[in-house]
């Protein structure tokens, strides 16, 4: 029964491991692009599960104790809270963590090179137009790929 709570390393090792893996995964998610985060497909779900499995040993270092799990879970939640706290109070930190919106179209002109760079398919872009009751790209004043991966469309003012 005692082995359920017995740590295989000092408590601070679990905090350090969780912090390092948290930072690594945050960087990887940030680099993967806005669409990867904003629009989950079945493939994205599989990737998310596999990433969780891949980093598990990096966080726990082979420790299977309940105490280690509690320390790691607490650390991850604290880190997530800290990142949310800092980004809510600092525009610079918010830009670093979340990025900035990207202009996909302006004044009826679609920027195809930006769509490709941001991994937005033409069909996803057309779907965003339809969701905003826009039939033709000429009716678009501004279309943005938001930091959460969603496409916001501002229609041109109609007379």
C-alpha span between 112 and 41 (Å, rounded)? 22
pLDDT tens for 104-155 read: 999 999 999 999 999 899 999 999 999 999 999 999 999 999 988 899 999 9
What pTM was estimated for this model as a whole?
0.74
Q: What is the pLDDT of residue 89?
A: 97
**Band (40; pLDDT cuts 50, 70, 90):** low
**Top-level class of domain 102-155:** alpha beta
The domain locations on the chain are 2-98, 102-155
156: which residues sit within 8 A by CB, 6+ positions away?
A: 107, 108, 139, 140, 141
């Amino acid at each position: 029964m005692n082995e359920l709570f017995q740590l295989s390393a000092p408590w601070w090792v679990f905090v350090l491991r969780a912090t390092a893996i948290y930072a690594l995964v945050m960087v990887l998610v940030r680099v993967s692009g806005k669409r990867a985060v904003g629009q989950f497909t079945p493939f994205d779900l599989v990737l998310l599960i596999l990433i969780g499995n891949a980093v598990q040993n990096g966080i726990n270092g082979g420790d299977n104790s309940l105490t280690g799990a509690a320390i790691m879970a607490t650390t991850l939640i604290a880190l997530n809270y800290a990142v949310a706290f800092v980004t809510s109070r600092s525009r610079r930190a918010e830009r670093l963590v979340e990025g900035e919106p990207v202009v996909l179209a302006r004044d009826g002109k679609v920027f195809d090179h930006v769509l490709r760079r941001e991994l937005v398919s033409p069909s996803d872009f057309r779907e965003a137009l339809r969701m905003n009751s826009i039939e033709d790209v000429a009716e678009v004043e501004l279309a943005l790929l938001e930091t959460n991966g969603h496409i916001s469309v501002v229609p041109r003012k109609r007379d």
